[in-house]
Structure 1
Amino acid sequence: MTAAPTDPPAARTSTVDLRKYAWLSIVTAIATIVLKTGAWAMTDSVGLLSDAAESTVNLVAAVVALIALTVAARPATERFLYGRAKAEYFSAAVEGLMIFVAAAVILVTAVERFVNPRPLENLGIGLLIVVIASVLNGVVSLVLMRAGKTHNSITLRADGKHLMTDVVTSAGVLIGVGLVALTGWERLDALVAFAVGVNIIVTGISLLTESVSGLLDKALPDEDHEIITEILRRRTDETVTFHGLQTREAGQERFLSVHVLVPDEWTVKHGHDYIEGLEHELRGALPSLRVLTHLEPISDPASYDDIPEAHVPIHGDDHDPTRPPGG
């Protein structure tokens, strides 16, 4: 018989307050709007105008992100028993839609300027200002994306990707405006702005796809499944096995449910102690993981009749999860 673990269960890791990153994004957006608007006013470049427009969208998106993170950080209540972590997906969806708005403004402005080109002025100082704004956006983008990956926050990842898109936009605009200064072909400014708009649309589609997947209870990543199944396989022997593994994620929260099949003669306390040890090990491997287990007698055929239609395979191909060992 498998010995029951004696280690005390670990408390569920609390979520991290990520609002400081949203405030960083807001301050950065305000600074870049001021810088890029000044550059556009000096040069009258539609490319720089499109760049400033995207930074305005960045500010709106950062405010939305702050609201979403504030809502997601609230504790569970009698009405929201699992908390409000999915608020982050709404933020990512709004940010994706805002990217489309920015792209539309850029594309329309680019077409108008292509039809009616204008000479550009004060390019040197205008481009220098954009370089400063781009460096600022790039640094903050890396901070947000790293924090989003560390804390599994789609809101911060979306905001970071948006800022990185702004950096790419600025790079394209700098190249285009620089070529205008070298060649004198004014319509090139509009063509670069149009290409920037198309690139922004691609980023918006990516953000919307990720947010919709989260709202639809997407399973955990494959690397998380590997960690989980390795633990369950290691604990499997002639007396204990597992099946019906399902996972999902919601913002920083990760959820797991699995059926635990134990010897028929185990007492309730023995089974409870075993499950406590299992949950302790799983949470230690994946912080912020909420574990739901279902204890079943291993030799009862009924234990194999309630396996979910969609589940994560735990054992190898030679193992039949619908039959008891040796059955």
Structure 2
Amino acid sequence: MAERAAWVSFWVALLVLGLKALAYLLTGSVALLSDALESTVNVAAALAALLAIRLAQKPPDETHPFGHTKAEYFSAVLEGVLVVVAALLIAKEALPRLLRPVPLEGLGPGLGVSLLAAGVNALLAYHLLKEGRRHRSPALTADGYHVFSDVLTSLGVLAGVGLAGLTGFWLLDPLLAILVAGNILLMGFRLVRQSVGGLMDEGLSPAEVSRIRKTIAEALGGRALEVHDLKTRKAGNRAFLEFHLVVPGSMTVEEAHRLCDELERALEESFPGLAVTIHVEPESERKR
């Protein structure tokens, strides 16, 4: 279940945060502190994703006849905003060190703990992305990509701090922190952009629309005159499709209804969970 994956994300995020905080306390590295601050976002985002997924699973009701699936987008928007806040906090800590670099201590144990945290995060990112695709969950997918970017950031920070320890060039520490802040700032804007697209009823990708048109054409087999005004939209883990189907004037209502049933079955096989609405029109409505 998507909710189980969200719970895993939350508890693992807490563990990783503890490991990264320990790495910072052992070394005093502002770059490792930036890595730990990003993990506080992971914890908050995992909790938001869990709450959103639980709400999104509620069945349709009188006031929400299409369900509650868009709730997941609010989680992803919140995660993007939290990432931006973390980037600003990191910059606040790192900028003074640019003027007054500080030698670091305890790098061996600190980097070892941080490497362990990165390994745990890598396993979590793989799990979240797999479950996000499986359940078509924007919240899990956003969380997975966020955690994966955190892994890349951690590896970069580890390499840089290690290099600073070997060379004594301590300015690398705040420079890395600033780079981490810039990277997660871009990630936050990207998450917000994707989530706002879902809230604004953004359509499916051109590749997915092309597959839908191909499925419709194959299922019709020349029995209809035209398909036009095809529209799609996404809402959480669900996708919606509607189009107008122009049929010959000689086709009876029963025949048109049977044809629509065949189309819906074909589309359901190609796109599980796709909600389809078909408007049947007479030959006089043909547009070309």
TM-score over 0.5 (shorter chain): yes
* Aligned position for 1:161: 145
Matches within 5 A, 1:297-308: 297-298=282-283, 300=284, 303-304=285-286
Secondary structure of 1:295 counterpart? strand
Which residue identity lines up with residue 283 of structure 1 in the other structure?
E
Which residue identity lines up with residue 241 of structure 2 in the other structure?
L
> Which residue, 17, 26, 29 being the options, matches 1:33?
17
CA contact (8 A) 2:224 2:245 kept: no
| Residue 76 (structure 1) shift | 0.3
* Aligned position for 1:285: 270
Higher helix share: 2
Q: Residue by residue, what CA displacement relative to the aligned partner does 1:149-186 show, whole Å, maximum 9, x if unpaired?
A: 33322111110111112112211211121112111122
Q: Residue by residue, what CA displacement relative to the aligned partner does 1:215-245 show, whole Å, maximum 9, x if unpaired?
A: 1111112222122111222325265432221
CA contact (8 A) 1:85 1:252 kept: yes
CA contact (8 A) 1:236 1:242 kept: no
| Residue 52 (structure 1) shift | 0.9
* Aligned position for 1:130: 114
* Aligned position for 1:257: 242
* Aligned position for 2:230: 245
| Residue 267 (structure 1) shift | 2.5
Moved more, 141-150 or 247-256: 141-150
Matches within 5 A, 1:13-92: 17-92=1-76
Matches within 5 A, 1:141-220: 141-220=125-204
Moved more, 272-281 or 70-79: 272-281
What is the aligned-residue RMSD (CA, Å)? 1.4
Secondary structure of 2:31 counterpart? helix
* Aligned position for 2:102: 118
| Residue 22 (structure 1) shift | 0.8
Q: What stretches of structure 1 of length at least 5 have no aligned partner?
A: 1-16, 305-321
Matched, 1:105 2:64: no
Matched, 1:274 2:266: no
Matched length: 287
CA contact (8 A) 1:147 1:156 kept: yes
CA contact (8 A) 1:220 1:247 kept: yes
Sequence identity, in percent?
A: 41
CA contact (8 A) 2:223 2:247 kept: no
| Residue 44 (structure 1) shift | 0.9
CA distance in 1, matches of 2:178, 2:203: 37
CA contact (8 A) 1:46 1:190 kept: yes
Moved more, 256-265 or 245-254: 256-265
Structure 1 residue ranges (4+ consecutive) displaced by more than 4 angstroms after TM superposition: none
CA contact (8 A) 2:247 2:280 kept: yes
CA gap 1:260/1:181 in 2 versus in 1, 3 angstroms: same
